[in-house]
Structures are given as structure tokens and as C-alpha cells.
Amino acid sequence: MIPAAWICLFAPLGAAIAITLAGNRLSRRAAGYLATTSVLVSFVAAVVSFAFLLGDPPDNREQYSTLWHWLTAGPYQFDLRILVDPLSTFMMLIVAGVGFLIVWYSIGYMDGDDEERRYFAYMALFVFSMLLLVQGGNLLMLLAGWGLVGLSSYLLIGFWHERPTAIAAAKKAFVMNAIGDATMALALFILIQRDGTLNFEVVFSRTGSLGTWAANLVALGLLGGAVAKSAQLPLQTWLPDAMEGPTPVSALIHAATMVTAGVYLIVRTNALFEAAPHVQELAAGLGAATLLMAGLIALVQTDIKRVIAYSTMSQIGYMFLAAGLGAYADAMFHLMTHAFFKALLFMAAGIVIHALADEQDLRKMGGLRQYLPKTYWAFLVGALALTGIPPLSGFFSKDALLAPALAHGWYGQLLWVAGMVGVFLTGLYTFRMLFLAFWGEPSPFVQEHFHALKRDVVGVSLAVPVGVLTVLAAFAGWIQVYNFWTPISNWLDPVAPPLVTASGLQEAATSVIAVALALTGIGVAWWIYAARRGEAPRTLPLLQHKFYFDELYDALFYRPAVFLATGLYRWVERPLVFGSLRELAAAVRELGFETRSIQTGLVRTYVLAIAASLAVITIVFVVVR
Amino acid sequence: MILAADAGNVLVWVVWVVAACACLGSGIAVISFSNPFFSALSLIGNLASLAVLYLLLSAEFVAAAQVLVYAGAVMVMFLFVIAYLGGRADAPWAGGPSWQAFAAGAASGALLVEVLVVISLKSSGRLTHEANIDSSFGSPARIGRLFLTDHLLAFEITSIVLLVAAVGGVILGSHSRNPSVDR
Amino acid sequence: MNGPNVVWYLAVATFLFCTGALGVLIRRSPLIVLLSLEIMLNGANLALIAFARQQGHEDGQIFALAVMAVAASEVVVGLGLIVAMARRRLDLDVDKLRTLRG
């Protein structure tokens, strides 16, 4: 089991290195196959680990494995170690499995791009980083994976580096992630100082000795990192811009895996968060606020990928809500189903974009149902799953998320209301997108620019993963049904025992109301966008400007920084630094000029120098004697 | 030549004073004249008075060598060259940076003062002790014996130096050089 | 010994030396510079002879004779140089020889 875990971790890294070193000797398609195969190997290894772990008794499912002692300094020692336990195998399966499908899909999507090899190297690097994050056996490995994932995201968002918008988006993502990294590092410093190590088993068992101040700071630091990585309030502005990257990147990184790392973090370090209950409640509150805000903004977006991006932001808000209230297994369950149907939506949208020669504007689309029937069905399944219509997967996971909130007291009930409003909004914006793109008469743009996909390697690589995900999005929800059948909760129980469980009545009530609200949302969308019997209300500027967060951060951080930088340049760097250098050079030159006058060329001068020196030396000798 | 010791100190002192003043005066004259001919003649006077001083110091052989070699040969050579150069040998006083003249005077004066101070005040009596000498001190026989025994190496090397100088003089003065380049 | 002490002779020798040095530093004609150089050498000779008398050895006199021989050689070479300069119609002025000026 342990060797399988290590193979799972390092296979994608090997592929990334191999592609980088092979360079032009590897054909572009071969690079794609290499990357895909390595992630498949990863997935198989993850399945093997999972199978072996299943064979262990439930209370003995925590296996650490150290490769070598990485940092040793005095009493501190940090190792390169991984952990194979229920939570990490759960994540390994999702990351490797969905990753494999998406990398396979990329072979078709990125076909013909000049820099395909670089793309696949980056994708393999990303899968490795994400696996390191989820498999890390101490907080330092987790942080290492965290940083590497941020790097891969930067590299992949800015993949088409000739576009200035892509570069700017990559920088924005990286800077906001770096803020999270910084707060996380500070939290880790406190932990090192208090506990002397970052190993999970020590840190999680000693939370009692932290003291309230330290516990709150640590939890806040970790929450900062989670918020940055998962694009929650207040660090959410980078996610929509990240859609500048290729669609498979959006599917893998910004829907299925990287942005869910924040949720994973909270679930993994639940002991630390439970030691700081107010911070945990803050996490839930941020999640709720984000899901509402994102849902509202998604209503007015015109770019198909951005609608899905805001939808991701909103769904992760749900997961934060659940994790913040202590329903860890439910959050992870939703993470799994969300990975399936969100990746599916992105990939289907990718097929649409490809078919329309890279057009992403919803207003130009219409009637694609006739042109891309299979894609339409895939998209429909994804949309229904997202909205939470039974019997698709989203129904089981989303209701399981919201029901425990009712059991948490007045705060939880408030959040429950927010979640319900979010369900309505989800139905509305999702089906707005679907109706605009696929229903109605084919728009002139579509008629002019549509070209069908061929049934070759590219076509297969685009179609099969979408098909697989459609099936998963439809049926994966049946793996956990309320309180009747809870394999996921049982599986994750040793690692993250839930703080709240909903009663049967709360669950039933939640389900009914949620489905009703979802259907209402779909109905309103149909009324306005499909049947065209109603007029869409005028869009609020507040929503169109995404609640003015970008402008706020621009005024709050960017402008002062630029002002400070220009000021420093003009008043400090130019006069002081350049000036002093210039003065120094001038002084040296002057000194040389003066010294030149000693060389008169006359022998007399030199003899005079000798005579004068003699006179002086004589005095010295006389005095010393 | 041995001076009669019983003529008393007075005679010796008088001779000394005359010779010393001649020495110093001619020295100053050498560096003061603008006509090089007069400078050379003053140097001859300087050398002669120095010979007298040597005699007072019981260095008869050196005094004779001084007169014969220095005043006789070297100065004659000088006068030959001055005569050859004729008008071009005129030597006005120094030009150039005037601060150098002042500094030169200062340096020389400082040297003079310092050494005088050293030999008079600081010598702490070491210089006042004089050795007793016999009558053959400074005679050619003694000098010759020293040259051929204790200081043989210096003797030989000096001869080589003289040889080199002679050869160099011939080369420098020969006419077989290329026609002179006007500058 | 009769007459002045050795110190007096040394004083004269010092005076000669400094006079010669002054001449070397101040005069412009190479001929006069050579003559001043001779004065310096003679001053050194006088000091040597005086010390020989004071110590009672003739080593100082031997040294003085060697100095005289070397001085003669040096004069030969120096005058040869001056004659060569004159033959090339150079100015007999040490101030004019400034090619080493920096």
C-alpha cells in the first residue's frame, strides 16, 4: 500500500520532468499521451492504496511513510512523509481520477496548439502538486503542495502568454494566493513554536495546550489560506479572471481540485478549527456570504465560462458552510459530486467553445441543441446535478450539506436560509445559461461559425471523458443516501468526526424545500429565457461590477502601492541611490585627475620627492632613537 | 705630508677655517653662477680646499688622488665639454613650477638642520672620542695593503666600473651614429 | 688631535651635501646639475674621511677612493649624454624633457 501511495505521488512528476527534458524530441501528441498515462498510473495506484486500506480495521487506518528527513535543525525535524488514511485516499481518488479524465480530454482540446508539450508538463506538475497537498503527512508537506499548486495555477492560467489579459489574470491569482500562503505560514510558525513539530498526530492531539489566543490565530491563518485558495470572500476576485486559461485548466484546477483544497484543509485540520470555534463559525459565515454573492453575480454574466466559474465559487461556499459547522463528511461528499458535475459542465462548455471557433459569449449562442445533441444532454445532466434535482448526484450531496445547519442553533438556521436562497439562484443562473446557449433558434453567429467535431483521436478524447463524467454526475450520488446508507461518513469518521448531524425530519424538510426552490428557479429561467414570455429585469450595476470588489481592492491596495513605489523611485532611488553612485564615480574621477598632477615628467620633481622624504625620515629616526 | 704638530692648535685651526670657508664658498658659487665655465672653476676650487681638509685629517694619499684625479682629470673633462658646447651651455636659473624651488630650499634646509642637530646634540659624546693614530696612517703603503687584502673585491669591481664607463663614453661620443634628428 | 673636532668636519660635509642637493633641485642646465652632483659626492667623501680619522681605520679612505672612481665614471657617462643631446640639437634644459608627463 505504501509503495502504491508513493507511486501515485511521483508518477505525474516523472512525466512532467520527462516531458521537460525530452523537449522537441517528443511529439506533441506523445507528450499528451505520456501525461495522461502517468495520471492513469496515479489513479490505479490510488485505487490500490484504497483497496489495501479497506482491508485494515477502521481504527488502524492511519499509515505514515517517511522518505527521508528533510530539514533538521536542533530540536526541530521535518520529514518528507506522506499519510495514507481515509481522507487522503478519498482525495487521491478524486484528484487522480478526475485529473486523468481531464488530461485525456486535453489531448483533444489542445490539439494543434504550438506549445502542447509545455501544457502537458504543467498539467502533470499540477497533478503532482495536488497529490502532494492531499497526501502530505505533516503541515509542511501540505504547505509545499499548497505553494506548488499555486505555481501550477499561475503557469496554466497564463499559458497563452501572448495575451496580456492572461498574464494579468495569472499574476492576480498568484498574488492573492500568496496572501493566503503568508497567513498559513504565520499559523505554522505559531504551531512550530508551541508544539515543536508539524506532524499531524502531534499537532492535532495537542490543541488543548495552545491557549485561546494561539488557537484563534492559528485557525485564522489557516482560514486565510483556505479562503485564498478556494476563492471565497474576501479573496475571491481572482477566480473569474482565471478563466483566461484553457478550458481543461478551468475544469481541473478551478473546479474540481485546486479550489477545493481549502475545504480539504479545513477538514484535515478540523482539530485546530474546533479549538477555535468562533473562527470555524466565521468560515461558515464566509461560505454563506460567498455563495449568495456569487449566485447573484452569475445571473448577469455573459461569458459561459464565467457563469460556471461563479457557480464554482458558490458551490465551494456551500462546502465551507458545511465544514464550518462541522459536517465534514457532507462537505467532502459534496466536494466529490461537485468535482464530477462541474468538470462535466466545463468540458461540455469547452466542446461548445471549440465548435464555435473559441467564442464564449452567451449572447451570440443559441439553438445549439440541434447542432450538438450529445453535448447538450451532457450539459443538461450536469446542470440538473448542479441544481440538485433528484435522482442526480447533486441532490444527495447538497441537501446533506444543508440539513445539519438546522441543528446548529440560530446561527446555523440563518445560514440554512442563505443556502436555500442560493439553491433558488443556482437553478436560475444555471438554466439561464443552458437556455441561452442551447434552446431557441440558432443565432446567426452559430449558423455562420459552427463546425462539427470529427470522429478521430481528437473527437474521441473529447467525447469519452465527457461521457464518463456524465455517468458519474448522474449516479455517483447514490453512494450516500441520508442516514440510511452512509459509507462516506463511515469512511471519514475516524479522521473527521462530524460535529452536527441532522435528524430525519430536518433532512426531509430540507430536501423538499430545496427541490421546490430549485424547480422554481428553473421555471423562472424558462419563463424569461426559453419561452421569452417575460422580460429580464434591468441588470443592476452592482451585480455587473461584481459588487465592486475589484474597484475596492484597486483603491485600497493597488493605488497606494503604486503611489508608494513611484514616490520612492522619484525621491529616494533616483537622487539617493543613483545620485550617490554618480557622485561616487565623479569623485573617483576627480581624485584621479588630481593625482595626475604629481606626474610632472620632470626629473627634478622626483628628486625633490626623494629629498623631502629623506628629510622626513631623518626626523623620524631621530625622534624614535 | 705631516704637519708639524708642535706649531700648536692655532695654526691648525687657522688652516681649517680658511679651507672650510673656501670649501663652502666655492660650493655656493658652483650652484649660483649662470655661466657654466665659472661654475666649473668654482668646483675646482672646492676640490682643492677639500684636499687641504683631507690633509688635516691625515689622509695624504686620498688628498693626492683627489687633486690628481678629480681636479686634474674630471674637471678638465668638464671644461672640455663646456668649451665644446660653447654658447649652448648657458644655464639660466630654474623655471618650472615655483613652488618646487621653495620646496627644494625647504627640503635641503631641513636636511641640513637635522643632520647638524644629530651630529652635535644627539650623538651623546660618541663622536668626540678620537682614536690614536700612528704616523703611517693614511700612507700609500697602508692604503695599498688594504686594497689588496681586506677590500680586494671592492678594488676589482671598481676597476670593472671604470672599464664600463670608458666603453660607454666612447660609444656615446662616437660619430658613427645616424645623422642627428632635428627635434 | 690638534685642530677642530671631527664634528666640525662633519658639519662642513653636511653643508656641502645640502648645497649640492639644492643645486640639483633648482638648476635647469644638465651641466650644472652634474656639477652639483659632484659637490654632493665630495661632501660624502669628506664625511667618510672624517670618520676614518675618528675610528682609526683606513676603511673610510678606501671607501672614499672607490667613490671617487665611481664618480669619475659617472661624469664620463653624463657628459657623454650631454654631448649626444647637443649633437641632436636638443635643448640643454631638464625642464624640456617631459615625455613622462602623466
- pLDDT 10s digits, A270-288: 989 988 889 999 999 999 9
Residue at A37: amino acid letter = T
Which is nearest to B102 in space by CA: A379, C22, A434, A29?
C22
- Mutate which: B31, B98, B118, vs A, most A CBs within 10 A: B118
Residue from the list B9, B43, B59 with its beta carbon closest to the beta carbon of C38: B43
Distance from B81 to chain A by nearest Cα, in Å? 22
Place of cell 512532467: A16
Segment A463-492 mean pLDDT = 83
pLDDT of res. A423: 93
Query: Do B114 and A622 make contact, defined as CB atoms within 8 angstroms?
Result: yes
pLDDT of res. A49: 92
- Give me the torsion for CA of B68, B73, B74, B78, rounded to 10°: 140
**Measured between alpha carbons, how far is B104 from B102 in angstroms, rounded to an integer?**
5
Q: Specify which residues A63 forms β-bridges with.
A: A84
Structure letter (DSSP) for residue C25? H
Give the up-direction half-sphere exposure of residue A551: CA atoms within 13 A in the CB hemisphere.
7
pLDDT of res. B94: 57
Note whether A602 contacts C: Cβ–Cβ < 8 A: yes
Note whether C97 contacts A: Cβ–Cβ < 8 A: yes
| Chain A residue numbers touching C20 (CB-CB < 8 A) | none
- Give me the torsion for CA of A478, A283, A426, A433, rounded to 10°: -110
**Measured between alpha carbons, how far is A226 from A233 in angstroms, rounded to an integer?**
11
> In chain C, whose CA is at the least distance from the CA of A592?
C102
**Measured between alpha carbons, how far is A422 from A187 in angstroms, rounded to an integer?**
32
Selected residue with higher pLDDT from B64 and A366: B64
Note whether B91 contacts A: Cβ–Cβ < 8 A: no
Which is nearest to B154 in space by CA: A51, A544, C65, A463?
C65
What average pLDDT does the structure give for chain A?
Answer: 88
Strand segments, DSSP code E, in A222-296 are: none
Segment A241-252 mean pLDDT = 90
pLDDT of res. B172: 83
Which is nearest to A128 in space by CA: A160, A82, A169, A77?
A82
Share of chain C above pLDDT 90, in %: 54
User: Can you spell out the DSSP letters for A64-110?
Assistant: EEEEEEEEEETTEEEEEEEEESHHHHHHHHHHHHHHHHHHHHHHHHT
**pLDDT class for B5, splitting at 50, 70, 90?**
very low
**Measured between alpha carbons, how far is A60 from A570 in angstroms, rounded to an integer?**
64
Structure letter (DSSP) for residue A199? B
**pLDDT class for B7, splitting at 50, 70, 90?**
low
> In chain B, whose CA is at the least distance from the CA of C36?
B31
Strands A76-84 and A63-73: antiparallel
Length of chain B: 183
| Chain B residue numbers touching A605 (CB-CB < 8 A) | 100
Output b/e per residue, A31-59; b: 16+ Cβ within 10 A: bbbbbbebbbbbbbbbbbbbebbeeeeee
Helix then strand count (H, E) for chain B reads 7, 0
What are the C-alpha distances in Å from A518 to residues A322, A339, A340, A504, C100? 19, 20, 20, 21, 99
Collapse the DSSP code of A139 into the 3-class scheme (helix H, G, I; strand E, B; otherwise coil) and give the result. Answer: helix
Share of chain A above pLDDT 90, in %: 43
**pLDDT class for B89, splitting at 50, 70, 90?**
low
Res. B118: pLDDT tops 90: no
Minimum mean pLDDT among A236-240, A458-462, A479-483, C5-9: which range? A479-483
**Measured between alpha carbons, how far is A548 from A555 in angstroms, rounded to an integer?**
11
Residue from the list B96, B114, B122 with its beta carbon closest to the beta carbon of A604: B96
Interhelix angle A116-135/A2-22, rounded to 10 degrees, is: 160
| Chain C residue numbers touching A598 (CB-CB < 8 A) | 102
Residue at A43: amino acid letter = F
Segment B106-114 mean pLDDT = 88
pLDDT of res. C84: 87
Res. C75: pLDDT tops 60: yes
- Cβ within 8 Å of residue A70, ≥6 positions away: A78, A79, A80, A140
**Measured between alpha carbons, how far is A379 from A360 in angstroms, rounded to an integer?**
15
B43-87 pLDDT, tens digit each: 999 999 999 999 999 899 999 999 999 999 999 999 999 998 877
Looking at chain C, which subunits does it touch, using at least 3 CB pairs closer than 8 Å as the criterion?
A, B
**Measured between alpha carbons, how far is A313 from A437 in angstroms, rounded to an integer?**
21
pLDDT of res. A207: 81
Residue from the list C66, C72, C89 with its beta carbon closest to the beta carbon of B180: C89
Which is nearest to C99 in space by CA: A523, A470, A602?
A602
Give the up-direction half-sphere exposure of residue A98: CA atoms within 13 A in the CB hemisphere.
35
pLDDT of res. A421: 93
Res. B30: pLDDT tops 50: yes
Res. A385: pLDDT tops 60: yes
Minimum mean pLDDT among A234-238, A368-372, B89-93, C23-27: which range? B89-93
Task: Kindly state the cell numbers that stand for A47.
Answer: 485505487
Map A439-482 to HEC letters.
CCCCCHHHHHHCCCCCCCHHHHHHHHHHHHHHHHHHHHHHHCEC
pLDDT of res. A508: 84
A424-473 pLDDT, tens digit each: 999 999 999 998 888 887 877 777 777 777 767 777 888 888 888 888 88
Collapse the DSSP code of A303 into the 3-class scheme (helix H, G, I; strand E, B; otherwise coil) and give the result. Answer: strand
Q: Specify which residues A78 forms β-bridges with.
A: A71
What are the C-alpha distances in Å from B45 to residues A368, B64, C46, C66? 129, 15, 15, 22
Minimum mean pLDDT among A47-56, A145-154, C87-96: which range? C87-96
Q: Note whether A382 and A344 are within 8 A (CB).
A: yes
Q: Specify which residues A175 forms β-bridges with.
A: none
Collapse the DSSP code of A219 into the 3-class scheme (helix H, G, I; strand E, B; otherwise coil) and give the result. Answer: helix
pLDDT of res. A195: 84
> Cα dihedral sign for A47, A50, A56, A60?
positive
Collapse the DSSP code of A163 into the 3-class scheme (helix H, G, I; strand E, B; otherwise coil) and give the result. Answer: coil
**Measured between alpha carbons, how far is C84 from A396 in angstroms, rounded to an integer?**
117
**Measured between alpha carbons, how far is A489 from A582 in angstroms, rounded to an integer?**
70
Residue at A103: amino acid letter = V
**Measured between alpha carbons, how far is B25 from B15 in angstroms, rounded to an integer?**
15
Q: Burial, B45: exposed, middle or buried (Cβ in 10 Å; 0-12, 13-18, 19+)?
A: middle
Segment A7-20 mean pLDDT = 93
Minimum mean pLDDT among A31-40, A506-515, A610-619, B1-10: which range? B1-10
Segment C17-28 mean pLDDT = 90
Res. A491: pLDDT tops 90: no
Q: Note whether C25 and B96 are within 8 A (CB).
A: no
| Chain B residue numbers touching A608 (CB-CB < 8 A) | 100, 103-104, 107
Distance from C2 to chain A by nearest Cα, in Å? 30
Task: Kindly state the cell numbers that stand for B28.
Answer: 655656493
Q: Note whether A257 and A280 are within 8 A (CB).
A: no
**Measured between alpha carbons, how far is C42 from B143 in angstroms, rounded to an integer?**
19
Res. B97: pLDDT tops 70: no
Share of chain A above pLDDT 70, in %: 99
Segment A91-95 mean pLDDT = 93
pLDDT of res. A59: 80
Rg of the Cα atoms in chain A: 30
Segment C4-11 mean pLDDT = 88
Residue at B114: amino acid letter = E
What average pLDDT does the structure give for chain C?
Answer: 89
Output b/e per residue, C4-14; b: 16+ Cβ within 10 A: bebebbbbbbb
- Cβ within 8 Å of residue A473, ≥6 positions away: A337, A340, A341, A344, A381, A382, A385, A392, A393, A394
pLDDT of res. B176: 58
Helix or strand holding residue A63 (H, E): strand A63-73
Give the up-direction half-sphere exposure of residue A495: CA atoms within 13 A in the CB hemisphere.
27
Q: Note whether A393 and A341 are within 8 A (CB).
A: yes
Note whether A25 contacts C: Cβ–Cβ < 8 A: no
> In chain A, whose CA is at the least distance from the CA of C37?
A607
> Cα dihedral sign for A404, A408, A409, A413?
negative
Query: Do C25 and A604 make contact, defined as CB atoms within 8 angstroms?
Result: yes
pLDDT of res. B2: 38
| Residue A321 CA from chain centroid, whole number | 18
Structure letter (DSSP) for residue B88? G
Task: Kindly state the cell numbers that stand for B60.
Answer: 695624504
**Measured between alpha carbons, how far is C48 from B87 in angstroms, rounded to an integer?**
38
Selected residue with higher pLDDT from A483 and A506: A506
| Chain C residue numbers touching A599 (CB-CB < 8 A) | 100-102
Selected residue with higher pLDDT from C29 and A40: A40
Res. A259: pLDDT tops 90: no
Collapse the DSSP code of A361 into the 3-class scheme (helix H, G, I; strand E, B; otherwise coil) and give the result. Answer: strand
Place of cell 674621511: C49
**Measured between alpha carbons, how far is C102 from C88 in angstroms, rounded to an integer?**
25
**Measured between alpha carbons, how far is A393 from C51 in angstroms, rounded to an integer?**
121
Res. C93: pLDDT tops 50: yes
Note whether B95 contacts A: Cβ–Cβ < 8 A: no
